[in-house]
Structure 1
Amino acid sequence: MFKTENDILPDNVAAAVYEAEKNYIIQKNDYINVEVYTHGGERIIDPDFELLKETGLQANQMLNRPNPNYLIQQDGNVKLPMIGMVHLAGLTLQNSDIFLQKEYSKYYEDPFVITRYVNKRVIVLGATEGQVIPLENENTTLLEILALSGGLSNDSKAHNIRLIRGPLNNPQVYLIDLATVEGMSKTIKKILPGDIIYVEPVRRPLPESIRDLAPIVSLVTSGVALILSLGNL
């Protein structure tokens, strides 16, 4: 195991994490964070703070006020301000945003909602196609996390697993080899909340080339079929 940061691009990792998280299915006992904005979320994209200048210091204080977390109860419901009890268990975070925007539209003009999962979790990317694994036990090992994500398939490079720890603009990156007994014995034993695990997928050039060419082949085939049908008229 050794640190390596040369081929980790923060923007790419952040985008992959976002995609994985928005598809996370909300479950009972989860804690979520819900932010509600009006007018399509214009306050979020206020780079010059013009809106805050217009509304004064009080709005600025409201903006910096901590946003509480909300517990998904055993029946899948959660109690949120103004709208009361709503059922969110079973929804993805993205679907939760859409659902809550409709609920808050009863009170606000063009609401924009951001739902976040705030439990301790680990993100698994790469060959697993992006998953959020709740970290229920802080003594969980890398092998256990990989097992929870579905394990390593034939499409995974067991010798090239990256563990990304810390802020993405300056992370610690570890290269882990699980293809050998020696590599497994040297792996990081304890996974920390917020860790990102990247399992490099096996590249198969021929199938990928065929997949990329499929639309072109389909278009050519359709064109030839059309020409032949016109010739028979």
Structure 2
Amino acid sequence: MRNKGLLFTVLTALLLLQSCGINSNLMFRTPKGVKEVSDSIPMKPASEYTISKDDKFTFMLYTNEGERIVNEMAGMNQDAVAKAEIEYVVRTDGTADLPILGATRIAGLTVKQCEDTLAHLFEQKNGYNKPFVQVKLTNQRVIVFPGNGSAAKVIPLQNNNTTLMEAIALAGGIAERGKASKVKIMRVENGARTMYVVDLSRIEGLQYVDMIVQANDYIYIEPKEQVGQETMKVIAPVVSIISSALVIITVFSTLK
């Protein structure tokens, strides 16, 4: 009996330790008593995106205010256009190494400001006549967790007006385990991430489907807690160990 009690105590402790892993993959849980921001949700970014370090971009330069751009683009197939676009990286010091201009500071500029800056530099420093510059950011994306941690996706932003619903759709929609009532949008504002929570489970959620997402947003659809299923996964191997141990104890008892 003493051995059985000791075995039971050890196995119970093992079970309790294993139970700590139930739903351990859930992220960004809101502590009890902390109010989630579910009102005053901005439908559009408060300000235009500014270029930052590690951003990647391409640019095209034409003289005479872009007079030749239509003719040149019309004479090139899509493969040639893609090969003609060279990607540049904004270094940690906020500059990018550009042809002719060399190291040029562009961090902190909007796309429009970057185009104007490059046009001015090419005209003033290199004598280009009425330069026309087009800048395109190539690494803008959002990360979507559709309600199942193993299915997270990085969604490239093909345009500046991608909506919340479009981003979720591109990620494959809300997973079976996902809670449509708890869609969390985490956005960098004033140097820190702010979390907004929207409810898409009810018809009132239509007011948020056209919310414009911003580069580097995290869209996290909170998964439902599967306590029963997770508990069974934990209990099954422990029960198997207990059953095997009891069989061994019973066999040894009969041998005495």
Q: TM-score band (shorter)?
A: 0.3 to 0.5
Larger Rg: 2
TM-score (norm 1): 0.45
TM-score, normalisation: structure 2? 0.41
